[in-house]
Structures are given as structure tokens and as C-alpha cells.
Amino acid sequence: MKAPEQAKAEVARRRTFAIISHPDAGKTTLTEKLLLFGGAIQMAGAIRARKASRHAVSDWMKMEQERGISVTTSVMSFEFPIPGRPEDAPDFERLANVNLLDTPGHADFGEDTYRVLTAVDSALMVIDGAKGVESRTEKLIEICRMRDTPVITFVNKFDRECKNPLELLDEIEDKLGIPCVPWTWPVGMGKGFKGVYHLVERELHVFKPSDEGTIAAGIPVEGIDDPKLDELLGEEAVEELREAVELLEGAGVEYDREEFLAGKQTPLLFGSAMNNFGVRELLRAFVSLAPAPQERQAVVGKAAVEAPKPGDPVETRMVDADEAAFSGFVFKIQANMDPKHRDRMAFLRICSGRFSRGMKAHHVRLGRDVAMGNALAFLARSRELVEEAWPGDIIGIPNHGTIKIGDTFSEGKKLRFTGIPSFAPELFRRVILKTPLKAKQLAKGLRQLSEEGAIQVFKPLLGATWVVGAVGQLQLEVMKHRLEDEYSVVAIYEPVEYSMARWITPDLEHHDKVTLDKVMANFKRKCEENLYVDGHDDLVYLAPNKWNLSKTAERFPELKFEATREHS
């Protein structure tokens, strides 16, 4: 096969996704089952081990360092047959190459989770059938919406008493604004759970509780009126199923690929991850429906290399996954290797071209070529040196702090991928040093941790006391631990009055520069106490509450108050 054709086929079979859910909905359980199907059995154990170790931050970090668990479980790759492809077709046509990106789930929820979602092409939403749509899921869907990420939904725990499935559909549509297209439909629930009817493949899957997951094939039926269903399910259950299906056919939403790809409708399946029930159907639907890597927007020309000044034109273009030249961006940095050597792993998502070992790529921000001989791939069983990788794949680049979140690597033309943002933190602490002599160390530590994306730092325009911000509690704990451990800085982290952060930029589209300069000067004078600069020297307004924020924004309509800030 010729090179461009091979590239096309490799791109077409990639499925890069993350699971989003509220804690306890069953993400860990489902991940394990998906990996078992993908043949990545050792990895499944590591997932549980990682979750089990969640008590103390220091233990958790130590264990991650020792075993490299968090790196290996950050990306899990496996193959799975695409339904409908001939058995004798070559692997690159027959098998999907699935990359599952882990999003930290529980207390360790932080910006990392958000940023991982910028590196996927689709998301799998897991909902606890008894609890319905919960708060964390709502937040994560908001992030998916920023890039119109397509979402497939799995309603879990139908072996328990759950909400009525029709109500669940309504709830998802009401709370998340995404209409559902049922792919399978449950028959009963809890003790009376009989199975799921596959609406698309017209098969009945009979439920048998099992932890090991002996998978019985679906029983084909001639549609919903097939008398076989009466036999298998009994009169009452079949009646209920037929009513529901009739209702869905009459009033339900029809699958529309465009709508799904735009994140405007979600195919929905039911099951029980713990019983390994409905998981194979989920995986089959997923590899059929989820998109291969799509094109991505990048800044090109001068603005790709130097951050443009306000008002400068910024040229952009879409980079197609099939383009021959290699390109990718860094969405996550993990400092988990040997702390003495300050080793860091940068996770790069490939957007176009072919990665091969030994190649050089241009590090656009630094303006120099970097050899990528030691890049790692995350294959089913272990971390290993990567020989070849394609769009949608994630590679790990060990480095000593030269790589930052948001950095682009490209071959040939200079470009910079956009849309890898910082998210407004929600937890704030003022950092008070116990030994004032360590001020320099503190500044260094905070700067480095902020470059890694481990924390956000804010320096006041007025005064000298740093404020740190995080999206989740564990982010703060990890920072504290690392400042002590790696920088010997012991500090007190005082609660502050702030609860929201907004990045401030002048609205150049609607106002002229002279006006804006005046407004900005006035704003800085009036709001000095709430103004800070972040690790990129960008201006940030920290607000004590929503009311204060909206009042301030009203007073300065010429300024934009933004909840995300793109890395440049």
C-alpha cells in the first residue's frame, strides 16, 4: 500500500476518547471491562489499584512514582473489531485502534480532566441509572460543548432499581440539552432486569448476573413483534417493551450522523458494567459511531510563533488529520518520574502525519528542532518506545521542563494549535511563607508548577502575596506536597475571599484603542484589589462571588471577562 493510503487507513481506524461521569457512576468498572474486551488484562488491574490508593496524597504520589501506574493508565490503547467488516480483511481495515484517555475521577478532579477533553475526538458519558444526571457530568459536558465533542451515553447499574428509562431520557435532554437516541432499551430493572433489546440490530440480550462476564451472543429476532420475544421475556415484560418501543418510534429522536458529530444528540445504551452486561454492545456501537480524528484549527504565519499583540490579525487554518506533515500538541504534563531529576512526561496528541522513531519535529514555541527518539507509546500491556504513531495517538515525550502545556510540535510548516485552555479555577488560597527567606524558592516552585499546569498562580498588582488557584481540591494538596518535597518550601495556605476568576482582555472588535487604554487604566485603578497577573502575565480579575463579578463586568462593558484562557 502506498504511504498516503496507509496514512488514511490508519487515521480512519483511530478512535480517541475519554469517559466522563460523576464519581461512583461506574467509570472504573466500565474501563476495566472495556480493557478486558480489548485484551489489555494487566491494565485492568492497574485501574482498580490506582483507585484503591486514593486515601493520602503522599502515598498516592509515591505509589505512582514507584510503579509508573499513573503514566501507564493515562492512555490505554487496544484494538477492537469494527462491526460489519469482513473477517478476512487486513487488520488496518478490520480493527479499530482505540485510545482511551483517562480522566481523573474523584477528589483528584482538576484541570487535567478538562484538558484531556481537548485531546479526544469523542466522549463516553456514564450515568448511574438510579441517580440520573449528576453535577460533575454537567460540568464535563460543558467542556465537551466547547469543541462540539460527540458523546455516546451508557446508562449503568440497571441490575438495580433505577429511574424509569423514559424519564432518564428526558432528564438528559433537560439538564444537558442533548436529545438521546436510544440504541438499546432495557427490559425491566433491578431484580426484574431481563435484558436489553437492541433497537438497531434487532437482537435480544438476556441478562445473566455475572462478574466474570461470560458473554452470550444476542438472540436475533424479527423486530419487536417477533413471538420469540414473548417466549423469552414473558407477557408482562414484552408488553412493556413493545409500548416503550412504540413510543420511541412515534415521539423519539431519529439518529442523524451530522447532529451526533456536532454533539447535538447522543446515542444511548443501557447495561450493567459490573455484570459485564451491555458493555460489548456499547463497544461495538462506539467503534461504529465514534469519529476518527477530525481536522483541528491552528494559527499559522507570524502569530504561530510570536504571541500576537492585541489588534494584530491572526491567520488560522484547519489542519486535516490526513495531511502528510506531522503535527501535534501537548495537553498534559506529568511530573511523576524521578523527582530528583525533575523528569517530566509531556503527553502529545498527534493531529496529522506519521510519527516515526528518530524523527525530528519543530518545537514551535522554542523555535528549534527536537529529536523525538525517546518518545513513548502507551500500548495495551506496557509503556514502550514508539516506532510509529498516527493521528489520534498519544505519545509521551520525556523532558526536563522544556515542554509546556499547549505547545505545538510540527514538521515543516510552523503552526500553533489553539483550544488548549486554562480553565478558571474555583478554589483559591493565599500562600503565606513560614520562612520568609524562602521567597525566591517559592516563586520558582510556583512558576514551574504553573508551567506544568499543576496549579494556577496569581500575583497581585498590589502587594506581594501570591494566590494559587485550582479546579479541584487534590490539585491544591499535590501542590503543597510538591512544594515541600521538591522545593523545600513550607507555607500556610490561607482561605481567601475569592471564588471565581476571569481573564480580562479589551474588546477590540467593538472599541477603539484609545478608548480601551483609558478604560483599562480606569479599571486597574478602581479594581486594583481584585487584580492579578497569572503565570503567563495575563491580567485576571478575582471575584468574591457571582454578583460582584456581574456588577464589575457591567461597569466595564468595553472589557471581556473570560472563563477560559488559551495557552499561547
Binding residues: 21-28, 102-106, 156-159
Q: In whole angstroms, how far apart are CA 247 and each of 221, 241, 436?
A: 20, 10, 69
CB 445 within 8 A of CB 489: yes
Taking the C-alpha atoms of residue 232 and residue 29, their distance in angstroms, rounded to an integer, is 29
When the beta carbons of 45 and 557 are compared against ligand GDP, the nearer one is: 45
Question: Which of 160, 242, 357, 481: binder of ligand GDP (CB under 6 A)?
Answer: 160
Residue 193 or 561: the one with the smaller Cβ distance to ligand GDP is 193
Stretch that binds ligand GDP, among 23-31, 206-214, 240-248, 398-406 (CB under 6 A): 23-31
User: Which one, 271 or 391, has the nearer CB to ligand GDP?
Assistant: 271
Stretch that binds ligand GDP, among 19-27, 237-245, 468-476, 523-531 (CB under 6 A): 19-27
Q: Which region, judged by CB under 6 A, interacts with ligand GDP, from 17-25, 73-81, 220-228, 361-369?
A: 17-25
Residues in CB range of 459: below 8 A, 6 or more apart: 466, 532, 533
Distance CA 395, CA 68 (A): 15
Q: Which of 72, 97, 156, 334 binds ligand GDP (CB under 6 A)?
A: 156
Based on CB atoms, which residue is closest to ligand GDP, 274 or 431? 274
> Which residues inside 467-506 make contact with ligand GDP, applying CB under 6 A?
none
Please state, in angstroms and as integers, the Cα–Cα distance from residue 461 to each residue in 126, 425, 492, 535, following that order.
43, 19, 21, 13
Nearer CB in complex with ligand GDP: 29/294: 29
184 binds ligand GDP (CB under 6 A): no
Would you state the torsion angle of the CA atoms of residues 421, 408, 397, 140, taken in this order, to the nearest 10 degrees? Answer: 20
Cβ-defined contacts of 68-72 (< 8 Å, 24+): 68/336, 68/383, 70/334, 70/336, 71/334, 71/336, 71/345, 71/378, 71/383, 71/396, 72/43, 72/46, 72/378, 72/382, 72/383
Q: Does 23 bind ligand GDP (CB under 6 A)?
A: yes
Does 153 participate in binding ligand GDP (rule CB under 6 A)?
A: no
Nearer to ligand GDP, 395 or 471 (CB): 471
Quickly tell me which residue has 420511541 as its cell: 248
Nearer to ligand GDP, 213 or 398 (CB): 213
Question: Which span (20-28, 309-317, 493-501, 508-516) binds ligand GDP, by CB under 6 A?
Answer: 20-28
Residue 313: is it exposed, middle or buried by C-beta count within 10 angstroms (0-12/13-18/19+)? exposed
Residue closer to ligand GDP (CB basis): 136 or 354: 136
267 touches 258 (CB < 8 A) = no
Which one of 21, 77, 122, 352 is in contact with ligand GDP (CB under 6 A)?
Answer: 21
Binding residue for ligand GDP, selected from 12, 18, 20, 25, defined by CB under 6 A: 25
Beta strand 180-182 with 266-270: parallel, antiparallel or unpaired? Answer: parallel
DSSP secondary structure letter of residue 277: B
368-385: burial string, b at 16+ Cβ within 10 Å, e else: eebebeebbbbbeeebee
* Identified binder of ligand GDP from the candidate list 14, 20, 28, 172, rule CB under 6 A: 28
Query: 445 to each of 41, 313, 337, 358, how far by Cα in Å?
Result: 39, 35, 17, 33
User: Which of the ranges 26-34, 111-119, 208-216, 260-268 carries the binding residues for ligand GDP, by CB under 6 A?
Assistant: 26-34
Helix, strand, coil % in the chain, rounded to nearest 5: 35, 30, 40
| Binders of ligand GDP in range 78-137 (CB under 6 A) | 105
Window of 139-147, 185-193, 268-276, 528-536 that interacts with ligand GDP by CB under 6 A: 268-276
Residue 168 engages ligand GDP in binding (rule: CB under 6 A): no
**29 vs 410, which CB is nearer to ligand GDP?**
29
Q: Which is nearer to ligand GDP, 272 or 448 (CB)?
A: 272
Site string for ligand GDP, 273-292 (x = CB under 6 A): xxx-----------------
C-alpha to C-alpha distances, 279 to 77, 158, 161, 207, nearest whole angstrom = 17, 12, 19, 12
Q: How far apart are CA 82 and CA 93, in angstroms?
A: 8
Total residues contacting ligand GDP (rule CB under 6 A)?
17
Contacts of 282 (CB under 8 A, 6+ apart): 124, 152, 154, 269, 271
- Smallest distance from the beta carbon of 433 to ligand GDP, in angstroms? 37
Q: Does 24 sit near ligand GDP (CB under 6 A)?
A: yes
Q: Give the nearest distance from C-beta 103 to ligand GDP in angstroms.
A: 10
Give contact residues for ligand GDP (rule: CB under 6 A).
Answer: 21, 23-29, 105, 156-157, 159-160, 272-275
